Amino acid sequence: MAQPVVPNVLAARYASDEMARIWSPEQKVVLERRFWIAVLRAQRDLGVAVADGAVEAYEAVVDQVDLDSVGERERVTKHDVKARIEECNALAGFQEIHKGLTSRDLTENVEQLQVRLAVALVRDRVVAALARLAERAAEHAATAVTGRSHNVPAQVTTVGKRLANAGQELLQALVRIEELLARYPLRGVKGPVGTQQDLVDLFGGDVGLVDELEQRVAAHLGFERVLGSVGQVYPRSLDLDVVAAYVQAASGPANLAVTIRLMAGAGLATEGFLPGQVGSSAMPHKQNARSSERITALTHILGGHLAMVTALVGDQWNEGDVSCSAVRRVALPDSSFAIDGLLETFLAVLRGFAVYEDRIAAELQRELPFLATTKLLLALVKRGVGREDAHAAVKEHALAARGDGPAFLSLLAGDARIGFTADQLAALVGQPVDLAGAAPAHVAAFVAEVDEVTKRHPEAAAYEGADVL
Amino acid sequence: MAQPVVPNVLAARYASDEMARIWSPEQKVVLERRFWIAVLRAQRDLGVAVADGAVEAYEAVVDQVDLDSVGERERVTKHDVKARIEECNALAGFQEIHKGLTSRDLTENVEQLQVRLAVALVRDRVVAALARLAERAAEHAATAVTGRSHNVPAQVTTVGKRLANAGQELLQALVRIEELLARYPLRGVKGPVGTQQDLVDLFGGDVGLVDELEQRVAAHLGFERVLGSVGQVYPRSLDLDVVAAYVQAASGPANLAVTIRLMAGAGLATEGFLPGQVGSSAMPHKQNARSSERITALTHILGGHLAMVTALVGDQWNEGDVSCSAVRRVALPDSSFAIDGLLETFLAVLRGFAVYEDRIAAELQRELPFLATTKLLLALVKRGVGREDAHAAVKEHALAARGDGPAFLSLLAGDARIGFTADQLAALVGQPVDLAGAAPAHVAAFVAEVDEVTKRHPEAAAYEGADVL
Amino acid sequence: MAQPVVPNVLAARYASDEMARIWSPEQKVVLERRFWIAVLRAQRDLGVAVADGAVEAYEAVVDQVDLDSVGERERVTKHDVKARIEECNALAGFQEIHKGLTSRDLTENVEQLQVRLAVALVRDRVVAALARLAERAAEHAATAVTGRSHNVPAQVTTVGKRLANAGQELLQALVRIEELLARYPLRGVKGPVGTQQDLVDLFGGDVGLVDELEQRVAAHLGFERVLGSVGQVYPRSLDLDVVAAYVQAASGPANLAVTIRLMAGAGLATEGFLPGQVGSSAMPHKQNARSSERITALTHILGGHLAMVTALVGDQWNEGDVSCSAVRRVALPDSSFAIDGLLETFLAVLRGFAVYEDRIAAELQRELPFLATTKLLLALVKRGVGREDAHAAVKEHALAARGDGPAFLSLLAGDARIGFTADQLAALVGQPVDLAGAAPAHVAAFVAEVDEVTKRHPEAAAYEGADVL
Amino acid sequence: MAQPVVPNVLAARYASDEMARIWSPEQKVVLERRFWIAVLRAQRDLGVAVADGAVEAYEAVVDQVDLDSVGERERVTKHDVKARIEECNALAGFQEIHKGLTSRDLTENVEQLQVRLAVALVRDRVVAALARLAERAAEHAATAVTGRSHNVPAQVTTVGKRLANAGQELLQALVRIEELLARYPLRGVKGPVGTQQDLVDLFGGDVGLVDELEQRVAAHLGFERVLGSVGQVYPRSLDLDVVAAYVQAASGPANLAVTIRLMAGAGLATEGFLPGQVGSSAMPHKQNARSSERITALTHILGGHLAMVTALVGDQWNEGDVSCSAVRRVALPDSSFAIDGLLETFLAVLRGFAVYEDRIAAELQRELPFLATTKLLLALVKRGVGREDAHAAVKEHALAARGDGPAFLSLLAGDARIGFTADQLAALVGQPVDLAGAAPAHVAAFVAEVDEVTKRHPEAAAYEGADVL
């Protein structure tokens, strides 16, 4: 009985089509062919004899991928790279590719190309997430909500600021990713131990020409930098750099996701508000924050991938072994799928995000008098109540009110030592948003920062996201 | 354009067919049906009204799995469990399954069944690996080799003992796995928050009958223990228990693998000796220890899965959320594939393992005089050479010999202070294996321990392993 | 300027005195001396010449530890083990210890002794935690509370069951730890590459006597098992076994801690109820669940230590290098401090744990009518209301009630289609605990399981815990 | 009995004095005072009433740290921050500090200051390591050595290139660290939930002044950027950013360390060559690469710290809890100690690094004829030997030579089909360095890159490192 096919669950359930394509077997064949053509073109232009029309013939067949045919060749050659060379040659009708190269010259550079495409896609999705966050934050910039530390009421903040806090963290991650993209260097065409011996031979000992070839290949593939001195492989800490950046990109969304799960539990917010839905409060307690939970899960998965590539640090012997091979086959695509799925899920959460204003207001009504205690004391003293008396009265009634703010105010109003009416006390406590300090200003600043980002990446920012499971 | 299919690389490249089957979509359907039947049969036997012939009708269709048909139903119902219930009912012609159950009752218990099957398969492969290790260790029990600490020569040991050391570690892991299997408990049929409210209703409030039902279901599925008090899910630290046991099982093989990589680098051993191959030394420097490298890689991957399930510790809110769902979809099958692939690869390495005796002997010839220095000094003093003179001479010649043992002996033989001939010195140094202490005894003891294991699991021990890539 | 002293923060802030002592520099000296004496006594009894009175003389000075004096000797000898041998000899007035041993024979076995003492202490603390959990669970066995999945109301459960769920998970961990303790094997006295060459020499080639010596030493140190075949070191996967068991032991407490943090946020429970405190509700919103948060933090720390020892898997070259040394110097004591501190903190949380019954009741009052919807529908149909009418009415009013259960009942009572009075409806919904299924039975079963444990470990169970920061 | 003092082993054994100081309890007090003064000065300059001479009085006592006195105050106040405020006030004779601040305003910003100082120190040590690597690489730029992939001979490279490969990886990490330092933003003075409510009050509602205050404080502390919108804490993914950068910085050194361990095992190199030592080969087999092993160990430890801070991703509830507190108390200082100790150890390894040229030459002599097989075949064909004959002869003799290169050449020389003399063959194989391709050019390019770095950081580059244990 043949082995049953087990699909990659991260690709199939969570990742976008675009990310799945970058790492698909078909696309790998296409990218390899592009690499071969880049090398071949550079070799031709730098004086290596290449048959006329060969470059063009290869270019014409780049996208003609038949994995079955490649598989049949591999069963004969027992060598996967060789099989793909033969297939490509057969399609083009030439035998010009892969000259002066080893398998690693092909696989290392193509994997780096996949990595760069994946990171660029993640960059775009982060931009989209920031754009949506800024929109939601602006909507709710002045929606006061009970701010919490240790998960208990602490001071007033606004829903918009809560969103902006997550966005601020994501902005940091965006800078991190953009820096990474800007400097991410290609290993280049360096041969089996990194000395370029075979290419130096091919170019008759002219190291300068070898260098020039490498620069042209890199430019053709869209890389601005090439590593100078490497062994068989590019430094695996570059993989760490990438996956760590993914995890960093997950953090803002994941922190907001857990907060939405908390708010959903208290009936304050939902991730599942659908356009056309009537009202904002149909059985809020039935709104499971499943997508937010998924964001938590995908974050944990990314942490596992980070552990995998961390294990590659200090694990490279001499000029390089392949003890990293299976690790990278798993961790590089799978972490890309995970962060991509996480950001898609986050976009869905932001699309569906809504607050239940009545529940938020009810919570504030209950908590606000306690959150405003300092303000009350100041007013009492100002009015001439003795400081000790004020303290004693406030403490006594706060205890007696057992967490019920309005009751607390009633008790104060009924206390002759205080001398404020219920209305006066209510006026003193004031409107919640007045206790939110610079929260609206922080939101505005965040929105302005995101504007700069979306101006640089208008197309990415326009992405609204796909449906998620 | 549809999303390209990305296969699970661990299943496709490394895992055995048997392990892939345990986690395949088809097999999950079968296991779910077995669970439903176990519950239905217990319900019937405990007095719940069940249509005549229903149990038998369901049993007859257990293996008729048509994923496409299930998929079509899911597109209608928008609910995966409901789709699978309908499919099963349609096949059997009854509507009796899943009564008094929630989705979690189904999915939790079936996943645990998959876990137990996977762990049992790993146990069997560990037994096979131990059997092969014992065979190889016995072959090489007295093959002296330069023992190393800090990767430099330290004392003589034997190749067989080196294998036995790895085997001893693996034996510890076997005990760990067997203990795990013996106590691994089923979550049971506990309902959406763990109170069994719906089953208690179904049995008219008789908690004892609910208990009895659960025990019968567990027994039917092969579990000896059922958890008493749980929430929506079984404790996720059981997943940690499983994956940590996998990592522990990887350790002995992984330590031997890295040692084989070192020995291959020095030309002392190979993992790739094929039956029928002539001689034991055909270009040893060309023997890449690729499979051993793969074992290293799969170990790192397992470490990542361990990190994923570690993240579930302390992450369960109230009666349970699904913030662990995606994590477990990845980590449970994938870690099973990784350890399974690792053990298959290890079996292949043990099949191909051979030593290059001439190279081992040459190394010993070079190192042995230094390793025997203490013995030499004792003999000199015994013979009447002054202790200080002896020390001085030995040190002087050791330095001058620059790491070349025979040269060291020649220098000593030519030194009048010493008064030993070359032959006498050679006899003093003696045969390498005489300096290997209890190494052969340790091997014998290991082999005896493994014999006990293979007697308990003769079928598992007979498994020779499949071809690996 | 001398290096400032940086204390080990885990030992100083979180761990108990007992755990700190196990890993303190002073205690290590004591344990080494006990090991030396065990070996010396066995050597003497097995015929090796040992000066009269030596064993007794060493025994008399075991606890006379002067780290400064040892430090001075180390500055002279430049070798830490040698310095400690000299100090011990000087104190006893003999030079008999460490014969036939290498440094590793000392350090490996003493570290294993520390590990076993630490694991045994953790076992005891787990027993104490289970005893307290059972007490708290019994108190609250029938205290109904709104059970939640996805952090939103799902079905009724009880506070006691919530505690029992955590306890059930911890019981699993206890079995895991007890199995580990029962099989944890000593590396034994095996020499620099594991062959026992030096001891075999000492005993004139009698491998049986060497074996006997090892068994006696192990028995003296309290170990029941000795590893047969090892290299320079014991298999490092034993360290993984230990730290993974610690993490597993953290899981039940950590899951309960996060749930207490959630309950504290909703004003339902506190970890900080002090004996003598008046009432159960003095400003519940001010009760920070700081200790529960610390449990979360210490769990994450343990995960880091698990990652460290996971990195040792497959990292042992040949007979053993010391590339694990610094890792184990950090991970073994620090993970012991972390789990110990976590369990001490958990005991403190359980001491202070209390629920705010009025808030719990208020939550149930609001949610119960929704949680009882199924029950209501059944009653309506039974009473003769058409199934469709019943459904329509219930759905309509549930939506209109906007999450307010009593309002939902009022709306139903006012609907002529329904025909139930408010009182009848309230009676139908019933008492919350009636909807908690087998929850009280689960608690009772858990308490009974813990009783078995405390009977086996009465002293450990009696431990109440120390004050925490 | 008091708890025994357990020192922080990473600080005490591995870290430099400078790094220990950054994280010492004394230094924390100093940094807190600097922060308070920065705030006070800014408040004064922005119009808040501050007593004359207060700023100067505080500045005068910044370094007067008496931890015992602080401890006594804490026993009275039961609040650590309050105790430190009182101590500082008592020393200065004013009560002006900490106005409008919460504890978090103090602790968050001071911890970030410690982080920035630590990262800057790591940057400096990386620069020093690069400078030493460039020196060693230049020395050995043309020292041919057998390059290896899969740990077996592959092609010729040079020792200098091997060093440059590690250096190239470290250069990537340097860029990463410098980018991090350039953008690492201060949380700023944001109050208990991030709204700056208390400061907005202090400045009479003028958000602009609050902003200005924050900018001045940041500038005073040396930060160029301040986060706009945060909650109680700065985003914990910044901690991930830092620790991940540390791990990346470890990778080049750790890969070289493992390669040195391999070279030491083959007798090719040592990390322990001391100035004044005679010759280059005194018992090379006795040279333990203990420091290189330590680098491996410290890398694993860093991986554990990375796991700890990864656990903080997505773990921040609402405006922030302290469930990260203990994690950061451990992971931030300890990871700084680990990377610092690793780089100090690496500097020591580079100081002591030397190669055994005779052993390297002997290895090349044995391997080179095999490494030059392709070249030989080309020459044979050029000379007129039939391609098939050439292949057959070369294969036959290669097998017969059993890994012995000179024997291989002798066999070829004695084969009439070949027609080359021994001398001709030797000439054909040529000098090893001629087969090293662009290796010397790569070294030169690396040295030039490092020159740019050392020009930017001349002081850091001059650091030679301290003695290590």
Mutate which of D233, D251, D330, D340 to test chain C, going by most C C-beta atoms within 10 A? D330
Q: Are D296 and A316 inside 8 Å of each other by CB? A: no
Closest-approach residue (CA) in chain D for A185? D172
Q: What is the 3-state secondary structure (H, E, C) of B353-422?
A: CEECHHHHHHHHHHHHHHHCHHHHHHHHHHHCCCHHHHHHHHHHHHHHHCCCHHHHHHHHHCCCCCCCCH
Q: What's D188's DSSP letter? A: -
CA distances from A163 to A166, A169, A253 (A): 5, 10, 9
Closest alpha carbon to D163 in D193, D143, D177: D143
CA distances from D15 to A240, C345, D336 (A): 24, 31, 8
Contact C148/B319 with Cβ under 8 angstroms?
yes
Closest alpha carbon to C159 in C173, C144, C171, C170: C144
Closest alpha carbon to A237 in C27, D165, D434, D261: D165
pLDDT level of residue B143 (50, 70, 90 thresholds)? very high
DSSP states along C282-347 = SSGGG---HHHHHHHHHHHHHHHHHHHHHTTTT---TT--STTHHHHHHHHHHHHHHHHHHHHHHH
Q: Are D402 and B281 inside 8 Å of each other by CB? A: yes
pLDDT level of residue C274 (50, 70, 90 thresholds)? low
Q: Does C13 touch chain D (CB under 8 A)?
A: yes
- The neighbour count for residue D169, using CB atoms within 10 Å, is 28
Contact B227/B186 with Cβ under 8 angstroms?
yes
Closest-approach residue (CA) in chain B for C157? B195
Distance CA B207, CA B184 (A): 24
Q: Are A149 and D318 inside 8 Å of each other by CB? A: yes
CA distance between the termini of chain C: 32
Distance CA B157, CA B146 (A): 6
Res C278 pLDDT > 50: no
Q: Does A317 touch chain C (CB under 8 A)?
A: no
Closest-approach residue (CA) in chain D for B404? D283
Q: What does the pLDDT read at residue A401?
A: 85
Q: Are A325 and B293 inside 8 Å of each other by CB? A: yes
B2 contact residues in A (CB cutoff 8 A): 17
Q: What's B195's DSSP letter? A: S
Residue written as token pair 């003695």: D467
- The neighbour count for residue C443, using CB atoms within 10 Å, is 28
Distance CA C118, CA C125 (A): 11
Q: Are D192 and A241 inside 8 Å of each other by CB? A: no
Q: Does D278 touch chain C (CB under 8 A)?
A: no
B261 contact residues in D (CB cutoff 8 A): 150-151
Distance from CA of C306 to the nearest CA of A (A): 11
Rounded to two decimals, what is the model's pTM? Answer: 0.96
Q: Are C283 and A307 inside 8 Å of each other by CB? A: no
Q: Are D283 and B153 inside 8 Å of each other by CB? A: no
Res D1 pLDDT > 60: no
Distance from CA of D199 to the nearest CA of B (A): 36
Distance CA B197, CA B213 (A): 14
Q: Are D403 and B281 inside 8 Å of each other by CB? A: yes
The stretches of D226-289 forming alpha helices (DSSP H) are 237-265
pLDDT level of residue D283 (50, 70, 90 thresholds)? very low
Instruction: Confirm whether the ipTM is greater than 0.90.
Output: yes
Residue written as token pair 């993984």: C240
Closest alpha carbon to C116 in C162, C70, C181, C66: C181
Note the Cα B306 to chain centre separation in Å. Answer: 14
pLDDT in tens, B67-113: 999 999 988 887 889 999 999 999 999 999 998 899 999 999 999 99
Mean pLDDT computed over D79-89: 92
Q: Which of residues 74-103 of B touch A (CB under 8 A)?
A: none
Distance CA C297, CA C276 (A): 30
Mutate which of D271, D283, D288, D295 to test chain B, going by most B C-beta atoms within 10 A? D283
Q: Does A314 touch chain C (CB under 8 A)?
A: no
Q: Does C440 touch chain B (CB under 8 A)?
A: no
Q: What does the pLDDT read at residue B283?
A: 39
Q: Does D259 touch chain A (CB under 8 A)?
A: yes
B359 contact residues in D (CB cutoff 8 A): 403
Q: Give me the amino acid identity at D257.
A: A
Contact A283/C370 with Cβ under 8 angstroms?
yes
Q: What is the CA radius of gyration of chain C?
A: 30
Q: Give me the amino acid identity at A390.
A: A
Distance CA C36, CA C34 (A): 5
Angle at A156 between CA A151 and CA A161, to 5 degrees: 90
D281 contact residues in B (CB cutoff 8 A): 402-403
Q: Are C148 and A287 inside 8 Å of each other by CB? A: no
On the CB side of C64, how many CA atoms lie within 13 Å of its CA?
12
Q: Which two tokens mark C420?
A: 């139930």
Q: Which helix (H) or strand (E) holds D209?
A: helix D207-221
Distance CA C198, CA C101 (A): 7
Closest alpha carbon to A91 in A69, A113, A118, A122: A69
Closest alpha carbon to A232 in A312, A316, A114, A309: A316
Helix, coil or strand: residue C144: strand
Q: What does the pLDDT read at residue C132?
A: 98
Closest-approach residue (CA) in chain C for A315? C315
Q: Are C399 and A367 inside 8 Å of each other by CB? A: no
Closest-approach residue (CA) in chain B for A341? B326
Residue written as token pair 């053990």: B343
469 residues of chain A, pLDDT tens digit each:
578 889 999 999 999 999 999 999 999 999 999 999 999 999 999 999 999 999 999 999 999 999 999 999 988 887 889 999 999 999 999 999 998 899 999 999 999 999 999 999 999 999 999 999 999 999 999 999 999 999 999 999 999 999 999 999 999 999 999 999 999 999 999 999 999 999 998 999 999 999 999 999 999 999 999 999 999 999 999 999 999 999 999 999 999 999 999 999 999 999 986 654 443 333 433 568 999 999 999 999 999 999 999 999 999 999 999 899 999 999 999 999 999 999 999 999 999 999 999 999 999 999 999 888 877 887 888 888 887 888 888 888 887 887 888 999 999 899 888 888 889 888 888 889 899 999 999 999 999 999 999 999 999 999 999 888 7
List the chains bordering chain B where 3 or more Cβ pairs fall under 8 Å. Answer: A, C, D
Q: Does D317 touch chain A (CB under 8 A)?
A: yes
Distance CA C125, CA C427 (A): 46
Q: Are C168 and B235 inside 8 Å of each other by CB? A: yes
Residue spans of beta strands (DSSP E) within C28-103: none
Contact D458/D465 with Cβ under 8 angstroms?
no
Contact A119/A456 with Cβ under 8 angstroms?
no
Distance from CA of C12 to the nearest CA of B (A): 24
Q: Are C300 and D327 inside 8 Å of each other by CB? A: yes
Buried b (16+ CB within 10 A) or exposed e, B226-247: bbbbbbbbbbbbbbbbbbbbbb
Which residues neighbour C305 within 8 Å (Cβ) at sequence distance 6 or greater?
A: C243, C246, C330, C331, C334, C335, C338, D304
pLDDT in tens, D336-363: 999 999 999 999 999 999 999 999 999 9
Mutate which of C184, C313, C342, C447 to test chain B, going by most B C-beta atoms within 10 A? C313
CA distance between the termini of chain A: 32
Q: Are D318 and A250 inside 8 Å of each other by CB? A: no
Angle at C373 between CA C372 and CA C374, to 5 degrees: 95
Which residues neighbour B186 within 8 Å (Cβ) at sequence distance 6 or greater?
A: B109, B112, B217, B218, B221, B223, B225, B226, B227, B234
- Overall residue count recorded for chain A in this entry: 469
Closest alpha carbon to A85 in A133, A37, A150: A37
Q: Are B285 and D370 inside 8 Å of each other by CB? A: yes
B322 contact residues in A (CB cutoff 8 A): 290, 293-294, 297
Contact D160/D140 with Cβ under 8 angstroms?
yes
Q: What does the pLDDT read at residue A227?
A: 97
Mutate which of D296, D402, D408, D411 to test chain B, going by most B C-beta atoms within 10 A? D402
Q: Does A21 touch chain C (CB under 8 A)?
A: no
Q: Are A322 and D162 inside 8 Å of each other by CB? A: no
Beta-carbon pairs below 8 A across chains A and C: 89
pLDDT in tens, C67-95: 999 999 988 887 889 999 999 999 999 99
Closest-approach residue (CA) in chain B for A296? B323
DSSP bridge partners of B186? B226
- Write the residue in D23, D297, D327 that is nearest to C6 by C-beta: D23
Q: Which two tokens mark A84?
A: 């793909």
Distance CA C277, CA B81 (A): 50
Angle at B393 between CA B389 and CA B397, to 5 degrees: 175
- Write the residue in A7, A293, A311 that is nearest to B8 by C-beta: A7
- The neighbour count for residue A212, using CB atoms within 10 Å, is 15
- The neighbour count for residue B45, using CB atoms within 10 Å, is 13
A262 contact residues in C (CB cutoff 8 A): 151, 262, 265
Q: Does B49 touch chain A (CB under 8 A)?
A: no
Res B414 pLDDT > 70: yes
